Every structure is written in C-alpha cells, then in structure tokens.
C-alpha cells in the first residue's frame, strides 16, 4: 500500500449553476483542474447534478477523478454539499431535490442554466429555479445523503450568506455531518480557531469555483492510496493511514 | 404584559411551551439569521422569525426570551416542539407577516420606550 497526497477540490460549479460563468463547461473545467494540479474533484452545482455525468466522462478520458455531487439549499437556507461515489446515487438525490424545489428560473434575472455535453455543446437549458431553496430540512438532506451512501459537508461555513453557522447560529449536535467546508478567504486552521462551532468536524477548503480562474484558489490535500470516493471516506474518518492533510 | 396576554390579543396559536405563558415580555426582536439573533436580541423579548429549526429553542434559552413567534404561517420542526416543551419556551404561530405583527405589538407598547 502506497499512500500519497491528492489535491482535492470537492466544490466546483459548472455552467448549469445560474451564477456560474458560461465558460464552466466540462472540457474547460477538466483542463483547468489538471493545470492546477488537482487529483480529485467533485461537481457540485446548485440543487442539480445534470452536468456531473459529462464532466465525469471528460475526466475519465484525461485521467482526472470526478465525483458527482450537488450543493443543496435547505429550507433554513443553509448550503450543504452532497458528494457521491456513483452518478446514479447523485441522480436519485436530485429526484428528491427536484420534488421539493419550487419555482422556475428567469435567466435574465438569475442567469442561464446550461446542461452541457462532453463536447462542450449546449444540450438544453434547465428550467427550474436552481438558485432557490428547497422545502427540505437540513436534517432531512443529511439523512437522505447518508442513505444513498454519500458524504454531507456544510458549505462555506465562514460566509455571511447561506453558511450553516450564520443561518443557524451553531451546528446542531445530532446533525451527523461528515465535515465542513470553509471558503478560500480563510485557512481551515484559522477557521477552526475563529469559529468554535466547527468543533472536531473535519475542516476542509475548496474553491467553490464559479469561473475558470477560481479553479485552484483553494484545495484540501488528502493522503490516499487512490483518488476514489471510498478512499476519501476513509480519510475523513482518519482510518487505515488515510487522512486529511493540514 | 406577559406572553399569554399577547397571545390572546393577537389570537396566536400556541404550538409548544404552554408552561411558559406567564413570562414577562420586555421587548421584541425580528430576525431569521440565528447568528444575528444570538448576538443582538434583547433579554426577555418576543422574537419574530420564519426559522422553524430546533436551534431557535437554544437561541431563545440563551437570550432568556419570553417567547418565539413563528410568522408567515411557517411550521415548527417536530424536534423544535420537543425541545421547546423541555425548556418551557412558548412557540407561538402567526399566519401573516412579521412586519404586521411587529407594528401592532409596538403600537401596543411592546418594546417601545416608556412615555416622557
């Protein structure tokens, strides 16, 4: 068993997110991630995983591991990342999210929501109000993510908008999160001392990239045998030598 | 004025914490970001919010609030009701906006500075 460092960015948006740049297409994302030296990424668009498959395909062709995920907005207006090992699990989660997501997008107000092909062509526009909040509680989202064997990470908890600590004051003890993400503005070590609410949860940082130039601005190193979902889960539990690198 | 008088005056529905209805109301606060409420709500206030999450009970205990009023017909989470019963924090419900209820309570003297 040979463990080595993999640079991971588990929070990358695509052109499907209304607030993300048109340039965030599958091929361009993979190119930028490889240039940034990343070894493992997750696609987490707002309340949708419809571009995850295309980015995963391009990633496979270029030797970059891509996990499917979503950045789900709870009814408390807390953003939480759901990251999965298999596309089918993410798409099952997406069904639950869509069933609880009211409203229609207005591209002129919120931005375009492009479903892209592996060749960076436009397949369709998603008509849902992806920027909105679901009617699902935070606890329900974490439970459903775990039932589908996914990882549940509270997004950008250092931020004044849609961060768990801002919205709810502190992290409920019975929430069973797998970790928290802090933004590129603060290091995990600094966040852990500035925000005591983080406690002993694994504290990670990712880019939350909405434009290509955001890619690489933050990542977390993981000591793993290979860039897989299973290895990532072991590292978050500090098991069998796998761990999060400071 | 106590919580029970406000409840009756505005026909609020008591969802939990009926043992706390005798609490004295010393002021009011509106807010949906719990971090802000934890930092700024006055002791003894009634708090108007749309957040039904269980954390509202801990915030109410922390700020020694008289009651929490869920506005806009938002339902409390089941865990919220359980915790409110344990802590004797009244959780009341109001079907319309916080703006309207806050205005009417203020006009009644809740949270207004004493005359003169």
| Complex ipTM | 0.82
Instruction: Kindly list the residues from chain B whose CB atom is less than 8 angstroms away from the CB atom of residue A165.
Output: 35
- With a cut of 80, say whether residue A235 has pLDDT above it: yes
- The CATH number for A53's domain is 3.20.20.140
In whole angstroms, give the CA distance from residue B95 to residue B72: 5
At residue A19 the predicted structure's pLDDT band, cuts being 50, 70 and 90, is very high
Residues in chain B with CB shorter than 8 Å from the CB of A172 are 53-55
Q: For residue B116, is pLDDT > 70?
A: no
Average pLDDT over residues A139-157: 98
Distances (CA, A) of B90 to A141, A207, B74: 28, 42, 15
Q: Tell me the whole-structure pTM to 2 decimals.
A: 0.92
Q: Which residues of B touch A (CB under 8 A)?
A: 33-35, 37-38, 51, 53-55, 58-59, 77, 79
How high is the pLDDT of residue B111? 85
Asked if A168 lies within 8 A of B58 by C-beta distance, the reply is no
Q: Looking at residues B10-26, what average pLDDT do you find?
A: 97
Is residue A178 scored above 70 in pLDDT? yes
Do residue B35 and residue A165 have CB atoms under 8 angstroms apart? Answer: yes
Chain-wide mean pLDDT for chain A?
A: 97
- pLDDT for B36 equals 93
- Show residues of chain A in contact with B79, CB under 8 Å: 139
Nearest to B26 by CA among B47, B55, B8: B47
All structural domains of chain B with their residue ranges: 3-107
- A169, B77: Cβ pair inside 8 Å? no
Q: How far is CA A126 from the centre of its chain?
A: 19
Average pLDDT over residues A109-121: 96
* Dihedral (CA of A66, A118, A181, A6) sign: positive
| Model pLDDT for residues B69-85, shown as the tens digit of each residue | 999 999 999 999 999 99
Q: What Rg value do the Cα atoms of chain A yield, rounded?
A: 17
Is the pLDDT at B37 greater than 90, yes or no?
A: yes
- The number of folded domains in chain A is 1
Report percent pLDDT > 70 for chain A: 100
Fold of B3-107: 3.40.1390
- Structure token pair of residue B77: 């989470």
Q: What is the pLDDT of residue B85?
A: 97
For A26-115, where are the alpha helices, taking DSSP H only? 26-35, 52-61, 87-99, 107-110
Look up the domain containing A77 and give its range.
4-244
Cβ-nearest to A166 among B33, B77, B79? B33
pLDDT band at B54 (very low <50, low <70, confident <90, very high): very high
Res A2 pLDDT > 70:
yes
Residue A98 has a CB neighbour count (10 Å cut-off) of 14
Q: Is A123 exposed, middle or buried (0-12, 13-18, 19+ CB in 10 A)?
A: middle
Q: What is the mean pLDDT of residues A3-17?
A: 98
Asked whether the predicted pLDDT for residue A64 surpasses 70, the reply is yes
């Amino acid at each position: 068993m040979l463990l080595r460092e993999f640079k991971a960015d588990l929070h990358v948006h695509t052109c499907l997110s209304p607030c993300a740049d048109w340039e965030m297409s599958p091929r361009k994302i993979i190119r930028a991630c490889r240039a940034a030296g990343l070894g493992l990424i997750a696609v987490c668009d707002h309340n949708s995983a419809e571009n995850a498959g295309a980015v995963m395909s391009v990633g496979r062709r270029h030797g970059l591991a891509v996990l499917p995920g979503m950045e789900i907005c709870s009814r408390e207006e807390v953003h939480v990342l759901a990251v999965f090992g298999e596309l089918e699990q993410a798409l099952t989660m997406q069904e639950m999210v869509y069933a609880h997501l009211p409203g229609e997008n207005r591209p002129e107000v919120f931005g375009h929501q492009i479903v892209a092909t592996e060749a960076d062509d436009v397949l369709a526009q998603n008509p849902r109000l992806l920027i909105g909040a679901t009617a699902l509680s935070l606890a329900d989202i974490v439970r459903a993510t775990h039932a589908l064997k996914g990882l549940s990470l509270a997004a950008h908890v250092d931020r004044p908008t849609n961060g768990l600590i801002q919205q709810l004051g502190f992290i409920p003890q019975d929430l069973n999160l797998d970790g928290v993400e802090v933004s590129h503005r603060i290091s995990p070590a600094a966040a852990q001392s500035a925000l005591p609410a983080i406690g002993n949860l694994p504290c990670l940082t990712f880019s939350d990239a909405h434009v290509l130039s955001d890619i690489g601005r933050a990542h977390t190193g993981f000591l793993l045998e290979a860039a897989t979902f299973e290895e990532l889960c072991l590292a978050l539990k500090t098991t069998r030598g796998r761990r999060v690198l400071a | 004025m106590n919580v029970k008088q406000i409840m009756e005056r505005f026909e609020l529905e008591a969802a939990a914490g009926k043992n706390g209805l005798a609490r004295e109301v010393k002021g009011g606060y509106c807010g949906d970001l719990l971090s802000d409420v934890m930092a700024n709500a006055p002791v003894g206030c009634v708090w108007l919010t749309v957040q039904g999450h269980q954390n509202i009970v801990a915030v109410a205990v922390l700020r020694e609030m008289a009651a929490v009023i869920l506005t806009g017909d938002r339902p409390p989470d089941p865990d919220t009701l359980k915790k409110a019963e344990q802590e004797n924090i009244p959780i009341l419900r109001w079907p319309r906006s916080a703006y309207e209820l806050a205005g009417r309570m203020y006009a009644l003297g809740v949270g207004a500075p004493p005359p003169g």
